[in-house]
Structure 1
Amino acid sequence: MMTIGAVDREKEKKAVFVTVGTTCFDALVKSVDSRHVRNELKKRGYTNLLIQMGRGSYIPRKSCGEDESLVVDYFTFSPSIADYMRSASLIISHAGSGSIFETLRLRKPLIVVVNEDLMDNHQSELAEELADRKHLFCASPQTLGQTIQTMDLDSLLPFQSGDGLPVAKLINKFLGFPAE
């Protein structure tokens, strides 16, 4: 049975979900695990931090002790992260297009952290374009704390999904598939 205090705490829960997808992005996990980023999240009123660390080898610190004001946990993989994303108040993600567009469809505030170690990183172009259009915030592992500190969630504009059918028809025509 849940007590009134537990209900109040559940109402006050403000969760951050971090995802690196199936990749290894230790720089993002280390950044989120840093004292600076954790402090900025706490200052913004976030109470829970869940990190999906993928193939990475860096193990973040879990919260410990009763006085920890930011409850932290992590895992490597899950069959689906959709529930974690839906319950989050803020999502911090790698620059994978799937993660970006899934978050935007959910209309969740999003900080995309670009992996600067990838060569020929086309993902950064997508993230930067969507940031320029005010759909998300873009950061690097080094600037994540500053981005959290200065982000104005009210400045974000909802992303309107476009109709992909004309593009699909053009691709099918180019590839020689029959028109429907």
Structure 2
Amino acid sequence: MGGAANGIESRKMVFVTVGTTCFDALIKAVDSQHVKEELSRKGYTDLLIQMGRGTYVPSKFSGEDGSLAVDYFTFSPSIADYLRSASLIISHAGSGSIFETLRLGKPLIVVVNEDLMDNHQIELAEELADRKHLFCARPQTLHQTIEVMDLKSLIPYPPGDAVPVAKLIDNFLGFPAD
């Protein structure tokens, strides 16, 4: 039974988002051979990258040879559909992106941007990782995080809408909106 329906059903997409920021280090990391190999090894078939304001352009690949298919775009009016259809999300540490993904119950790897000054986003990401709601990585450790991640170890984030509070905190601290 090798029809097209089987191929579609067995697709597993990884969605990468940097929101409205420029986070070329994350885009370069997900475009690296190490990360793409680890994602393939974990059974993912598609990598869709939302690259925001970045200047690094990842390589597109059709995946026709059975390897990871890669595509990208800069912005979208809404990423909600991408988040819903993804099997795994890799995101910058913006609180809006984090809580939107956790609310959907999707597995999440948050990659912190260590180049930001007074980066309170690192504290949020590390706290949520300590509570086993997500995985936390740096661009240079992303492939290792993917290699050792066990999605069954994640604990669902308790329901509740933390986005308004998170946006107020981000605004107060001077972070740009997601």
TM-score, normalised via structure 2 length: 0.88
Root-mean-square deviation (Å)? 1.6
1:161 deviates by 3.1
Larger Rg: 1
> Cα 1:96–1:69, aligned 2, differ >3 Å: closer, same or farther?
same
The answer to whether structure 1 residue 46 and structure 2 residue 44 are counterparts is yes
Q: Which runs of 5+ in 1 are unaligned?
A: 168-180
For 1:28-60, what per-residue CA distance to the aligned partner results, in whole angstroms no more than 9, with x for missing partners? Answer: 000000000000000000000000000000000
User: For residues 83 and 103 of structure 2, what CA distance do their matches in structure 1 show?
Assistant: 11
Deviations along 1:109-150, one digit per CA (max 9) or x if unpaired, are 000000010010000000000000000000000000000000
Unpaired runs of 5+ residues, structure 2, are 166-178
C-alpha distance in 1 between matches for 2:121 and 2:19: 13
Q: Of the candidates 55, 58, 65, which is equivalent to residue 57 of structure 1?
A: 55
For residue 176 of structure 1, what is the aligned residue in structure 2? none
Deviation at 1:4, TM superposition (A): 6.0
How far off its partner does 1:66 sit? Answer: 2.6
Post-superposition shift, 1:69? 1.5
For the 8 Å contact 2:63–2:69, the answer to whether it is kept is no
Opposite residue 24 of structure 1, the aligned amino acid is C
Helix, strand or coil for the counterpart of 1:108? coil
Structure 1 segments of 4+ aligned residues over 4 angstroms from their partners: none
Identity level (%): 76
Count of paired positions: 163
